[in-house]
Chain A
Amino acid sequence: MFPANIEHYSRPATIDEALATSARFEDGEAMFIAGGQSLMQAMKSRMTRPRCLIDLQAIAELRGICPDANALSIGAMTRYATIAADERLTGYFAALRDAASHVGDRQVRNRGTIGGSCCWNYVASCMPAVVLALGAEMQLRAVGGASRSVAAEDFLIAPLETARAEHEILLGLRFQAPAGRGGSAYQKWGLVKDALPVVGVCVAVTLDAAGRCASARVGLAGLSAGAHRATAAEQALLGSTGDAAAIAKAFDAAATAADVQGDKWADMAYRQNLIRTLGQAVATSAFARAAGSKE
Chain B
Amino acid sequence: MQTVTIKVNGETFTESVPPRLLLVDFLRERLALTGTHVGCTHEGVCGACTVHLDGDAVKSCLMLAVQADGHDITTVEGLAKGEELSALQRAFREEHGLQCGFCTPGILMNMTDFLKHNPNPTDDEIRQGLIGNLCRCTGYVNIIRAVQQASQVMQGEAP
Contacts and interface: CB of A to CB of B under 8 A. Distances in A.
B62 interface: yes
Interface in A103-144: 104-108, 110-111
Given A106-B131, A107-B59, A110-B58, A41 B19 contact: no
A40 B132 contact: no
A106 B62 contact: no
Contact of B47 (A41, A45, A105, A194): A105
B18 A55 contact: no
B21 to A, nearest CB: 7
Interface in B44-64: 44, 47, 50, 53, 56-59, 61-64
A106 B42 contact: no
B87 interface: no
Secondary structure class of chain B's binding surface, majority of residues: mixed
A241 interface: no
Contacts of B57: 106-107, 110
Secondary structure class of chain A's binding surface, majority of residues: loop
B58 A107 contact: yes
A236 to B, nearest CB: 34
Contacts of A36: 62-64, 67
B20 A57 contact: no
Contacts of A110: 53, 56-58
User: For chain B, which range describes its interface: under 10, 10 to 19, 20 to 34, or 35 or more residues?
Assistant: 20 to 34
A19 to B, nearest CB: 20
A3 B64 CA distance: 9
B128 to A, nearest CB: 8
A4 B42 CA distance: 13
Nearest to A37: B62
Interface string A27-66: 0000001001100110011000000010101000000000
A5 B56 contact: no
A5 B18 contact: yes
Contact of B19 (A8, A40, A107, A108): A8
Interface of A: 1-9, 11, 33, 36-37, 40-41, 44-45, 53, 55, 57, 81, 104-108, 110-111, 192-194
15 contacts: A1-B41, A3-B20, A9-B2, A11-B67, A37-B44, A37-B62, A44-B42, A104-B132, A105-B132, A106-B129, A107-B50, A107-B59, A110-B56, A111-B59, A111-B63
